[in-house]
Amino acid sequence: MDQPDVATALRLHSQAYGLLMHLADEGKRLPDRVQLRSLAAITSKHECALWLQTNLSTVPLAFRPPHDEFEWFANLFWSFFQVSFRIDTFEWDGELLDANFVVGGGRGSGQGTRQTKQAAVRRLLRDRGHNPSNDAVRRLVKSKRLEPAVSIWTYAWQLRQRARGKNKGRSLRRLWRSIPFEARTSLTADAVDAAADAIAAAIG
């Protein structure tokens, strides 16, 4: 996983989150809430991409991805509904009376965070030319000293997986919360590189 991929995934994730917050704000202000109603009806990643293609022209430019990055953006946008958001609606006699974004209740089945960290660390070490044993990977993941680095690296790895359409349950949200607050506020591709270097140095 190279730095440009990490930087792109982080930027598009932030952009997709911004679009969600924009839609949530509009949902509070606009009485008909047409966009939320149509978004609430989406049941697949393909439908989500079609919804974005139809509706992106109506949102501020800040929330529109470059054409060649649309697929990653759409995957990340859809992943929010698997991980941490849902739209609650209330209808009466075919009329939408209320629609709101709700945090929590994503549709993902969930994969253990520790298992996800082990998979991410194993992939990193193999990419760096190591062939670690399962015990060695488990020791790295359990290390208190490496805990911030492992969380940062795994979060970035998972984020790119989501951008590529490879969802992994709800672990992304838990990983985000496991990163120290000061690191969360300024997570960059350089920070991810530093975390990867720390992990690789430990196995060496």
Q: Where are the alpha helices (DSSP H) in 30-62?
A: 34-40, 45-55
What CA–CA distance (Å, rounded) separates 139 from 160? 25
Provide Rg for the chain, Cα atoms: 19
Residue 20's pLDDT is 87
What CA–CA distance (Å, rounded) separates 164 from 12? 12
What CA–CA distance (Å, rounded) separates 202 from 204? 5
Residue 70's pLDDT is 97
What CA–CA distance (Å, rounded) separates 73 from 48? 11
Cα-Cα-Cα-Cα dihedral of 97, 102, 107, 110, to 10°? -170
Per-residue pLDDT of the chain (204 residues; tens, 9 = 90+): 777 889 999 999 999 999 988 887 876 666 556 666 677 777 788 999 999 999 999 899 999 999 999 999 999 998 888 776 666 666 666 655 555 666 555 444 445 788 889 999 999 999 999 999 999 999 999 999 999 999 999 999 989 988 998 765 566 777 888 888 888 888 999 999 999 999 999 986
Query: Alpha carbon of 163 to those of 15, 29, 69, 88, 97: distances in Å?
Result: 13, 30, 10, 25, 34
Residue 95's pLDDT is 59
Which residues, 6+ apart, have CB-to-CB distance to 129 below 8 Å?
Answer: none
> Which sequence spans correspond to the domains of the chain?
3-103, 113-203
Tokens representing residue 1 in the block: 């996983």
Residue 31's pLDDT is 55
Residue 175 identity (one-letter amino acid): L
What CA–CA distance (Å, rounded) separates 204 from 199? 9
